A and B are shown apart, each in its own frame.
Chain A
Amino acid sequence: MSTPNDRCPEPLLSVEGLTVVRRDNPQVRIVDDVSFTIGKGETVGLAGESGCGKTTTALAVLGLLPSGLRRSSGELTLHGPSGDRPLHRLRAAQWRQVRWASISMIFQGAMNALDPVKSVGQQIAEAIRLHEPMAGRSQVARRVTDLLDQVGVPSGRAGHFPHEFSGGQKQRVMIALALACRPALVIGDEPTTALDVITQAQILKLLGQLRRDLGLSMLLITHDLSVLADTCDRVAVMYAGQIVETGPVAQVYRQPQHPYTARLLDLFGADDTPGTLPTPIPGAQPAPDRRPSGCRFHDRCEYATERCAAEPPELLTAGTDQQARCHFAPWPGSGPGRLAPSDDRQGSRSSHD
């Protein structure tokens, strides 16, 4: 497993300047100039609240944008042993070879993503046969058994239908389905959101295990920063269609360099004292066609100045391998509204005494 220190593993997927617009109004940018890379064996977290463009980004990577949207610019490159493959140039038929075979997805809401009228074994077999039409019946059956085994579902249950499984078991089946064609990259879109905490912890553990055993790369999409804290190497935070902060997870969490990240972290890591309510971020994320001028977060930001309302910030380097889309980055101390690490530790120690 890569540690935050051995940076830049060999890249597997690079996304450069991805912009997704509405077909009926190309002025509206759902995803706006998003760039990131995922290294081999690396897990990258894409975080943000609903409507920030994180799921659209993932769908663009899979060539599965809904019909109302299109990619207006940006390059998607899949790096492989046999050379680089520009995904943005693929035609529909070519996409079908990449999808599931190289990049697969664990969809949001396992409850609805499985076909209710087919047994789970049939559904997994279907994915295998689609990509390997020459595979024999018994060979496919063995693969299905192995896959279920790998995700901790008794293989005797291959003949069961989705409604006979619990939420956690269904999510395991979804993971088996995503692994069916031995992809190099698995995208998980809120893979544990509908599950209770104990099941969530089990699924996250399973994903970590598979990632180590199979050398998988993962892109984990979630609104839940606490989930990313335990699972990711690097994290990118999205707001209103843009990446507003990116960097190694431990570093971003310890010293966030964008006020939005800092506030989100406060909300998740909230004060442990019973009865303390976290302070909400005022307002709501703007819809793609109603974004404010300048910095898109400025109307919710307590540090905003006139410059923030007028001038959109670039992604600025704010630490080793860390970038933030904020005029004030790098922030002094441990980020916006935070003390320097040493002061912070003293502060929290004295308050717990």
Chain B
Amino acid sequence: MTDDALFEIDELTVRYRMRRRQARAGRYLKALDRVSLRWNQGETLALVGESGSGKSTLGRALLGLIQPASGSVRYRGQELRSVDRTSFRREVQIIFQDPYQSLNPRSPVSRQVSAGLDIHRVGRPGPQRVAIGLAALDAAGLRPPETYWHRYPHQLSGGERQRVVIAGAMALAPSVLICDEPVSALDISVRAQVLQVLAGLRRDRGLSLLFITHDVSLARQMADRVAVLYQGHLVEQGPTEQILQDPQHDYTKELLAAVPGARLRSTP
């Protein structure tokens, strides 16, 4: 079983230095406190928690963007520090919540999608990279892709923009996609369209997906396994069904109870 571990996080602690005014308990804030978690290849994992719980910090630690105070992150059995940067940054892609901020308003779709290809020198410049970019748009559900190629972000709807972001990530043929609140800025009817794109990519390309989210229903819809973070602690983890049907930790129970719309789900 150990050989299909994608990420192994062991006793990871991340501290942020605090400014004097906020410092009450100490000079550091523990954003993550001895978190251990395993994410297997091909598995869809959801990191669930409220803002400030440390879920985005954990995502950044996985990407090697944060220097941990202690503990370790291993990627495919290798210490993250010693992993080859260039190939890691191609294999592991991330998309963020707000497609309005992820895209450069002054660049057409073509440039946003092929930026990664240029950086990683994938394919030959010119027609070959255009072909890869168009195929990525198509895979992200923007069809026909040619009609999107020369457009600018302001000419796209929110859902289309997020799909351009996904296409930019997928153009590099990654094996891992980290999604930090990928649909929370989108309208509900569009949200499901984007999730279907991600589910399709997972099915067709065996992507390992990580969802960082405060939205329990997103975890329910997409994840195989759920890990619940609270104030930097991993309070509970397990198969999605088990965690959502039979939560053990008080915080998880509170989180599930706070989801609005009880009247919606239980028709009187």
- Which residues of A are at the interface with B, using a C-beta cutoff of 8 A? 49-50, 164, 166-167, 195-201, 204, 223-227, 229-230, 249-250, 253-254, 263-265, 267-270, 272, 274-282, 284-285, 341, 344-345, 348
Identify which of A225, A226, A274 contacts B241 (C-beta below 8 A).
Answer: A274
Cβ-defined contact, A275 with B240, below 8 A: yes
Cβ-defined contact, B188 with A204, below 8 A: no
Cβ-defined contact, B264 with A265, below 8 A: yes
Please give the distance in Å from B177's CB to the nearest CB on chain A: 17
**How does the 8 Å CB contact mask read for B162-192 relative to A, with 1 for contact and 0 for none?**
0000000000000000000000000111111
**How does the 8 Å CB contact mask read for B244-268 relative to A, with 1 for contact and 0 for none?**
1000000000110111111111011
Task: List, in ascending order, chain B residues with CB within 8 A of A204's CB.
Answer: 260
In the bound assembly, the distance between CA atoms of A261 and B188 in angstroms comes to: 12
Assuming the A-B contacts A229-B264, A275-B221, are A267 and B192 also in contact, with contact meaning beta carbons closer than 8 angstroms in the complex? yes
Cβ-defined contact, B187 with A50, below 8 A: yes
Cβ-defined contact, B258 with A198, below 8 A: yes
Q: What's the count of A-B pairs with C-beta under 8 Å?
A: 119
Interface centre among A49, A249, A345 (most CB of B within 10 A): A49
Looking at the complex, which of B6-14, B69-77, B142-150, B212-220 is the stretch in contact with chain A? B212-220
Cβ-defined contact, A167 with B51, below 8 A: yes
Identify which of A49, A199, A254 contacts B187 (C-beta below 8 A).
Answer: A49
Identify which of B50, B157, B263 contacts A284 (C-beta below 8 A).
Answer: B157
Main SS class of interface, A: helix
Cβ-defined contact, A284 with B190, below 8 A: yes
Please give the distance in Å from A93's CB to the nearest CB on chain B: 37
Task: List, in ascending order, chain A residues with CB within 8 A of B257's CB.
Answer: 201
Please give the distance in Å from A249's CB to the nearest CB on chain B: 8
Cβ-defined contact, B190 with A280, below 8 A: yes
Cβ-defined contact, B260 with A230, below 8 A: yes
In the bound assembly, the distance between CA atoms of A201 and B214 in angstroms comes to: 13
In the bound assembly, the distance between CA atoms of A227 and B188 in angstroms comes to: 13
Identify which of B52, B157, B158, B261 contacts A226 (C-beta below 8 A).
Answer: B261
Cβ-defined contact, A270 with B260, below 8 A: no
Size bin of chain B's contact surface: 35 or more
> Is B159 among interface residues, defined by CB-CB distance under 8 A?
yes
Task: List, in ascending order, chain A residues with CB within 8 A of B191's CB.
Answer: 267, 280
Identify which of B21, B187, B189 contacts A263 (C-beta below 8 A).
Answer: B189
Task: List, in ascending order, chain B residues with CB within 8 A of A224's CB.
Answer: 188, 260
Task: List, in ascending order, chain B residues with CB within 8 A of A226's CB.
Answer: 259-261, 264
> Is B196 among interface residues, defined by CB-CB distance under 8 A?
yes
> Is B95 among interface residues, defined by CB-CB distance under 8 A?
no
Task: List, in ascending order, chain B residues with CB within 8 A of A253's CB.
Answer: 263-264, 267
New A-B contacts (6) at CB < 8 Å, excluding given A195-B51, A277-B222: A229-B262, A267-B191, A274-B220, A275-B221, A275-B222, A277-B199
In chain A, what residue has the closest Cβ to B194?
A280
Assuming the A-B contacts A197-B259, A199-B50, are A269 and B265 also in contact, with contact meaning beta carbons closer than 8 angstroms in the complex? yes
Please give the distance in Å from A204's CB to the nearest CB on chain B: 7
Cβ-defined contact, B261 with A225, below 8 A: yes
In chain B, what residue has the closest Cβ to A281?
B189
Cβ-defined contact, B220 with A227, below 8 A: no
Identify which of B192, B262, B267 contacts A277 (C-beta below 8 A).
Answer: B192
Task: List, in ascending order, chain A residues with CB within 8 A of B159's CB.
Answer: 284
Interface centre among B191, B244, B261 (most CB of A within 10 A): B261
Identify which of B50, B222, B223, B267 contacts A196 (C-beta below 8 A).
Answer: B50
Can you offer 21 A-B residue contacts whose CB atoms are under 8 A? A164-B21, A195-B51, A197-B50, A197-B258, A197-B260, A223-B187, A225-B264, A227-B260, A229-B260, A229-B261, A253-B267, A264-B188, A270-B217, A272-B220, A275-B221, A277-B196, A277-B221, A278-B192, A280-B190, A284-B190, A285-B189
Assuming the A-B contacts A223-B187, A277-B221, are A197 and B264 also in contact, with contact meaning beta carbons closer than 8 angstroms in the complex? no
In chain A, what residue has the closest Cβ to B49?
A196
> Is B40 among interface residues, defined by CB-CB distance under 8 A?
no
Cβ-defined contact, B255 with A250, below 8 A: no
In the bound assembly, the distance between CA atoms of A29 and B192 in angstroms comes to: 28
> Is B193 among interface residues, defined by CB-CB distance under 8 A?
yes
Task: List, in ascending order, chain A residues with CB within 8 A of B254's CB.
Answer: 198
Task: List, in ascending order, chain B residues with CB within 8 A of A195's CB.
Answer: 51
Task: List, in ascending order, chain A residues with CB within 8 A of B52's CB.
Answer: 166
In the bound assembly, the distance between CA atoms of A274 and B221 in angstroms comes to: 5
Cβ-defined contact, B264 with A268, below 8 A: yes
In the bound assembly, the distance between CA atoms of A250 and B267 in angstroms comes to: 9
Task: List, in ascending order, chain A residues with CB within 8 A of B255's CB.
Answer: 197-198
In the bound assembly, the distance between CA atoms of A107 and B261 in angstroms comes to: 22
Please give the distance in Å from A286's CB to the nearest CB on chain B: 10
Cβ-defined contact, B50 with A280, below 8 A: no
Cβ-defined contact, B260 with A280, below 8 A: no
In chain A, what residue has the closest Cβ to B214?
A196
In the bound assembly, the distance between CA atoms of A49 and B223 in angstroms comes to: 26
In the bound assembly, the distance between CA atoms of A250 and B220 in angstroms comes to: 25
Interface centre among A226, A227, A250, A253 (most CB of B within 10 A): A226
Cβ-defined contact, B260 with A267, below 8 A: no
Identify which of B21, B51, B244, B262 contacts A274 (C-beta below 8 A).
Answer: B244
Task: List, in ascending order, chain B residues with CB within 8 A of A250's CB.
Answer: 263, 268
In the bound assembly, the distance between CA atoms of A230 and B260 in angstroms comes to: 7
> Is B122 among interface residues, defined by CB-CB distance under 8 A?
no
Cβ-defined contact, A267 with B216, below 8 A: no
In the bound assembly, the distance between CA atoms of A348 and B268 in angstroms comes to: 12
